[in-house]
Structure 1
Amino acid sequence: MGRSRQGGEPVTATLQTYTHDDTSRTLETEKGVLHYHEAGDGPPLLLLHGSGPGVSGWSNYQGNLPTFAKHFRTLILDFPGFGKSYSCDENPMLAALPAVLDFLDGMDLGPVPVVGNSMGGSIAARLASGHPERVKRLVTIGGVGTPVFSASPPEGIKLLVQFVEDPTRDRLVAWMESMVYDKAILTPEFVESRWKTASDPAALSDVRKLFNAATLAAMRGPNGAAAVSQVEMLSRIQAPTLITFGRDDRVTPLDSSLLPMRLIRHCELHVFPNCGHWAMIERKDEFESTVLAYLLRDREN
């Protein structure tokens, strides 16, 4: 939060407060209703959330919305199978990219900067790779690349599968603890909010399509084909790209950044110390400062 001087005294700049319901919007598509949040003026900015129990666009980015909305018309999309968007019969990962394209078309958006966390980062990278005309700048928070040295599957994914197979509050907390460096941010209110949505039967059904025993088996098996696919995808990204990682990420380990850092032509890397998988929550101020500085370069050129 910025500070300025007025009458010789430091004054803390205030940000507008937004609520879930005031920013809630829907878009009708042929496949169903896509839910999103919208706030702010200026050029559009698209935020894509990660995966997991109780996750939505709002749960990922509600704390960052006031800062981004000062500079951008900020759009936070719920993927199919998450939040209030339509449920999908297939794996939500397969439905996500087509839904983003439907959203961009339905909102009549030209090339936009895209910020994605975890699954959202992966989808944003695939969007930039396969549809370069759609992405002005790309920012990812974990979720991109493949581990070079770390064991697979990572701890966070194993704990996530344990939760969806036996969805107890204790298992949810264990998974949430693997997502952060400092457990102090997991306040009772934060945990209760996630538990309320994560224990919903419909939400659990969609998450189970993405994370299950078969997921773990695939991650343990030979990954040569997946690595080749990653190389091909990353090499096609032309948009200026900022990759961000938490140094202590136990879901997408830091060594996952090595491949995209080398293969994406216009790529920068920022690592947040003492930070897990949710950099936008755990290192909120540093994250917003770093990402805004990167996105606002277009205003200066």
Structure 2
Amino acid sequence: MSETITYDSTYRIVDTADYQIQVNEAGEGHPIFMIHGTGPGATGWSNFEANIPDLSNSFRCIAVTMPGWGDSSPQSVRTGRDQGRAMLQLMDAMGIDRAAFVGNSMGGGIGMVMAAEHPSRVSHLITMGAGIYGVNVMTPAALSEGLRSIFETYKDPSPENFQHLVEIMCFDPSYATPELAKKRSEAALRNPEHLTNWLDVMNSGGGATGFLEAAAKMSVSKIPTLVIHGRDDRTVHFEGSMRANATIPNSRLVLLNRCGHWAQLEHASEFNGLVSNFLKTH
């Protein structure tokens, strides 16, 4: 199956009540929504290209590109930024009643929104490089190095900034290739409206409200949850995932050394095994 899986062979646009949403879909079985993180040029496919061929042998993998990224609808302060609503509409449009959610960074936050607000629609929650925000003990004050780079690249999507961005996301510099930076740059510049909209949303203070409200409800969640984090993450400190593990009753934490913000890329084989085993045994 993996030999036939490409971006083009899995790509389609799904029309929902309020959005057009890009998905890349492969495989059969229990559905998994795979949701990317924030950052210019991010898409579901770019975040999970290394995982879909393997996991689609056992599951129906649906890499989602959220409104505000890729070929999906714009989302802004004016039009609203409710990623939970967008996901719920996508599930309804695809005829999926219940699914696992696998999310990197912001994608983990979206999975948490679904788990908190629509628990009957979520079978499992898997986050990586995400977590729950709160009073920090170990995390340095102010924006992390990775978040500063994200803001800088949204403001100035130059090749140099994209190269710097992918280098920060990875522990192992061999993964931060010029080809990866070029792909992210090209994806971002295809829809420059997404860049300005993201900055408008963040500067308005509306970027994290839904995630914070969802996190406050996770202490009563019954959904099996796997929390994965890179020990060397320079974008979201692993303290957030430790807090998530302490907050969510039915959760377990995997902390990976020699791993940055993209565990699904840097440790793809181990990540795939963790996800597959978790979904099959819980």
TM-score by length of 2: 0.90
Structure 2 unpaired stretches of 5+: none
What SS does the aligned partner of 1:209 have? Answer: helix
Maintained 8 Å contact 1:45/1:112: yes
Q: Deviations over 1:7-43 (max 9, x none)?
A: xxxxxxx843411111112221221311111111112
1:73-222 pair list within 5 angstroms: 73-90=60-77, 94-146=81-133, 148=136, 149-151=138-140, 152-200=142-190, 201-212=192-203
> Which deviates more, 147-156 or 65-74?
147-156
Match of 2:13 in 1: 26
Separation in 1, partners of 2:202, 2:234: 16
What SS does the aligned partner of 1:115 have? Answer: strand
Q: Deviations over 1:136-190 (max 9, x none)?
A: 0110011221262212321111111122222222122222211110111122211
Instruction: Decide which of 210, 214, 226 is 1:242's aligned counterpart.
Output: 226
Change (3 A) 1:139 1:91: farther
Q: Which runs of 4+ in 1 moved over 6 A?
A: 225-228
Separation in 2, partners of 1:48, 1:228: 18
Percent of counterpart pairs with the same letter?
A: 31
Give how far 1:63 is off. Answer: 1.4
Maintained 8 Å contact 1:55/1:83: yes
Q: Deviations over 1:241-280 (max 9, x none)?
A: 0000011111110111222111101010001110100110
Separation in 2, partners of 1:241, 1:257: 11
Maintained 8 Å contact 2:33/2:101: yes
Give how far 1:119 is off. Answer: 0.4
Tell me the amino acid that sits aligned with residue 3 of structure 2. Answer: Q
Instruction: Decide which of 57, 63, 71 is 2:44's aligned counterpart.
Output: 57
Instruction: Decide which of 270, 273, 276 is 2:254's aligned counterpart.
Output: 270
Tell me the amino acid that sits aligned with residue 29 of structure 1. Answer: T
TM-score by length of 1: 0.85
Separation in 2, partners of 1:191, 1:172: 5
Give how far 1:123 is off. Answer: 0.7
Maintained 8 Å contact 2:11/2:24: yes
Separation in 2, partners of 1:126, 1:230: 5
Give how far 1:96 is off. Answer: 1.2
Separation in 1, partners of 2:77, 2:106: 16
Maintained 8 Å contact 1:160/1:175: yes
Separation in 1, partners of 2:139, 2:111: 24
Match of 2:243 in 1: 259
Tell me the amino acid that sits aligned with residue 273 of structure 2. Answer: S
Structure 1 unpaired stretches of 5+: 1-13
Separation in 2, partners of 1:226, 1:30: 20
